[in-house]
């Protein structure tokens, strides 16, 4: 099999990034490719914008699932690549184009070479939000076709191609989105005494927020609170009646997640009193931690250590989030980082992963899935 064709597929998918639960073109592209494969062993089902492809094993004792997420991010691509995003304001800035093309490569191999065990390829929408894993797990399809084991990967720009990094147990953090709307009183820029300025109130709040991780959380229990977006006001000489603060909370323990939310509630109350305004908090979507099953991960690590072309790294936990954690709550399995050597990281408009990682990983996963 010539795995370099999956680099072309990645480039095509890269041009059509779509947001969570809007991945209709992506689904159409994937379905058209999957339907072009030999159909003898495979069965295709769809769920919203997602896809399930079952490859019937020849003498199965279990069902092994491989999950690839399919959504892009609401951000402008800043690369000058010939195959850059054609969708303005949207980019595959988290590598899901890689995840999909690798999945198609592995699926292509097994559609042509029947596996012993039954394989289930899951193309999952909305990983970046609002979260597709949990509703997909509750779908009639997955209720009736529960895999016995599940695996997934995430590209890692900081590692060279050939590096695979993972660890037993906790890999990624618990996450919660954070949206706060402040409402005060607008007015003329020259008459601040007649208004309650929500640009000032939200700025105080963002500054106070910085004390939560440094003053309220055990320094040995990592946590992050990031505000990624602030909007407010209408014009430079009008005092803002409204402001909105958008961010994300990351913790390694659920206890810290609870403490941070309590502190946010208290700080917001203080802002309401101090600035005579009202505020509402919405925690958006929450993802549970990604916790790798110890036994299955151990076997994968042993497999990696025997491969002369793989540099295995036992990595630390990361404060990234992934709704793949919901699959791992119910099904033994693991996630791993895949080295793609980009100078720019995940969620950067300049992310440019090395495509050599695609054929490398297809071969690696085909070998691994044949071995389990």
Ligand X SMILES: CC(=O)N[C@@H](CCC[C@H](N)C(=O)O)C(=O)O
Q: How many CA atoms lie within 13 A of 224 on its CB side?
A: 15
Q: How many CA atoms lie within 13 A of 32 on its CB side?
A: 9
Asked if 177 interacts with ligand X (CB under 6 A), we say yes
Residue 128 labelled as part of a binding site = yes
Tell me the backbone φ, ψ of residue 71, rounded to 5 degrees: -90, 160
The SS3 assignment for 289 reads coil
**Cβ closest to ligand X, residue 248 vs residue 256:** 248
128 near ligand X (CB under 6 A): yes
Q: What CA–CA distance (Å, rounded) separates 54 from 64?
A: 10
CA angle (50, 119, 320) in 5-degree steps: 55
Residue 185 host element (H or E):
none
Active site residue 128: yes
| Residue number with CB closer to ligand X (7 or 224) | 224
Question: Does residue 261 touch ligand X according to CB under 6 A?
Answer: no
Question: Of the listed pieces 51-59, 136-144, 295-303, 315-323, which binds ligand X according to CB under 6 A?
Answer: 315-323
Q: Is 99 annotated for ligand binding?
A: no
Instruction: For residue 353, state whether it binds ligand X (rule: CB under 6 A).
Output: no
Q: Quick one: which of 154, 167, 259, 261 contacts ligand X (CB under 6 A)?
A: 154
**Choice from 94, 103, 288, 357 touching ligand X (CB under 6 A):** 94
Which residue, chain included where needed, has tokens 């070998």?
Answer: 367
Choose, by CB under 6 A, the member of 205, 287, 336, 368 that binds ligand X.
287
Tokens 């996450």 locate to 175
Burial of 110 (0-12, 13-18, 19+ CB in 10 A): buried
- Does 322 bind ligand X (CB under 6 A)? Our answer is yes
- How many residues in the shown chain lie near ligand X by CB under 6 A? 13
What CA–CA distances, in Å, run from 153 to 48, 68, 165, 333, 370? Answer: 22, 8, 10, 11, 17
Nearer to ligand X, 44 or 170 (CB): 170
d(CA 66, CA 123): 9
Establish if 320 lies at the interface with ligand X (CB under 6 A).
Answer: yes
Q: Report if residue 175 touches ligand X, rule: CB under 6 A.
A: yes
Question: Pick the catalytic residue: 69, 97, 241, 322?
Answer: 69
Query: Is 347 annotated as a binding-site member?
Result: yes
Contacting positions for ligand X (CB under 6 A): 94, 128-129, 154, 175, 177, 248, 285, 287, 320-322, 346
Instruction: Please give the positions annotated as active site.
Output: 69, 128
């Amino acid at each position: 099999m010539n795995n370099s064709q999956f680099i072309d597929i990645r480039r095509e998918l890269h041009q059509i990034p779509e947001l969570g639960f809007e991945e209709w073109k992506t689904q159409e592209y994937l379905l058209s490719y999957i339907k072009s494969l030999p159909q003898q062993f495979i069965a295709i089902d769809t769920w919203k914008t997602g896809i399930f492809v079952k490859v019937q094993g020849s003498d199965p004792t279990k069902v092994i699932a491989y999950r690839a997420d399919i959504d892009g991010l609401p951000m402008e691509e800043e690369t000058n690549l010939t195959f850059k995003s054609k969708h303005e304001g949207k980019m595959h800035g988290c590598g899901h184009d890689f995840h999909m093309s690798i999945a198609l490569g592995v699926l292509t191999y097994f559609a042509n070479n029947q596996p012993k065990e039954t394989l289930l390829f899951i193309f999952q929408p909305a990983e970046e939000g609002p979260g597709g894993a949990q509703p997909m797990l509750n779908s009639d399809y997955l209720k009736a076709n529960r895999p016995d084991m599940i695996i997934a990967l995430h590209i890692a720009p900081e590692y060279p191609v050939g590096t695979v990094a993972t660890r037993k147990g906790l890999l990624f953090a618990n996450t919660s989105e954070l949206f706060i709307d402040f409402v005060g009183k607008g007015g003329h820029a020259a008459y601040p005494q007649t208004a309650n300025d929500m640009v000032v109130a939200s700025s105080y709040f963002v500054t106070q927020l910085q004390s939560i991780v440094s003053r309220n959380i055990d320094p040995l229990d990592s946590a992050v609170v990031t505000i990624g977006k602030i909007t407010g006001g209408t014009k430079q000489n009008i005092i803002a009646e409204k402001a909105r603060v958008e961010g994300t909370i990351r913790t390694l323990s659920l206890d810290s997640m609870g403490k941070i939310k309590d502190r946010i509630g208290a700080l917001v109350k203080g802002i309401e009193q101090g600035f005579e305004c009202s505020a509402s908090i919405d925690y958006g979507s929450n993802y549970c931690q990604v916790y790798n099953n110890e036994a299955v991960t151990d076997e994968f690590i042993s497999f990696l250590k025997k491969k002369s072309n793989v540099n295995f790294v036992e990595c630390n936990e990361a404060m990234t989030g992934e709704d793949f954690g919901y699959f791992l709550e119910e099904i033994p399995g693991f996630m791993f980082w895949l080295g793609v050597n980009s100078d720019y990281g995940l969620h950067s408009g300049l992310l440019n992963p090395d495509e050599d990682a695609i054929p490398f990983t297809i071969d690696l996963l085909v070998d691994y899935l044949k071995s389990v």
